[in-house]
Amino acid sequence: MHFLCLHGRGTNSEIFKRQTAALRHELGDSHSYDFVDGTFPSALNEDLRELLPPDDETFAYCNPLSPQSCAKAFDDLERYVQAEGPYDGVMGFSLGATFVMSWMFKKLGDQKDNKPVQLPFKVGIFFSAPGLLQYHDLLAEELFGSKFNPADGLLDIPTAHIWGCHDRDKEKAEAASEACNELVRSVFVHDKGHEIPISSDNVISMVKAINRAITRAQT
């Protein structure tokens, strides 16, 4: 499968490559990955300082507290997927996961005449997603509309949701997972914090959850 990969806030695509190196190795060589930098400058996430040279730039895909920034980022992502796709799946960490999940929910919310929406991915893999943008955006109505509710249109693609039991946003990550179809949803909660763990036991368990989602997408 070919995956679009979206990093967290205050990091970049190189950091996300390093965060997922052990995981991708365990998933095998039948997959390919397109790591894409955000375009919104963002201060370095201090939790990841050891993964990045001091002169490297760090980014986000949007300012999650600005509907205008999010709307522009949604448009940018739409154009990028159309130009560089197709993709079989998407993999996101932290704000990258929140951003792409929210984009897909917005596509569902924008559907007209009850016509089914063709989502651009067959499978989603989400690490430590701190909720969905409309959960913590005070101006959500401007971005999503007054009647939008994720529960009205569950994200009906196979998904894998992974977060840590010590993650400061674990409740939000769980809420984001519950907005996806439980019949094709895999969940793994590891023993770390807001990170993608690299210990062999955790990597194997993450791969099991991800492979369940991939298998469901292929059947």
For 210: left if phi > 0, alpha if psi spans -120 to 50, otherwise beta; the answer is: alpha
The pLDDT assigned to 51 comes to 67
Q: Average pLDDT of 61-76?
A: 89
* 135 — pLDDT class (breaks 50, 70, 90): very low
**Is 194 annotated as catalytic?**
yes
**Is 167 annotated as catalytic?**
yes
Which residue among the candidates 7, 161, 190, 194 is catalytic per the annotation? 194
CATH of domain 2-218: 3.40.50.1820
- What ranges do the domains of the chain cover? 2-218
d(CA 202, CA 52): 23
DSSP bridge pairs for 60: 40
**141-150, 163-172, 192-201: which has the minimum mean pLDDT?**
141-150
The pLDDT assigned to 64 comes to 84
**Is 94 annotated as catalytic?**
yes
Q: Average pLDDT of 196-216?
A: 98
**Does the reported pTM lie above 0.75?**
yes
**pLDDT tens digits, one per residue of 98-118:** 999 999 988 887 776 677 778
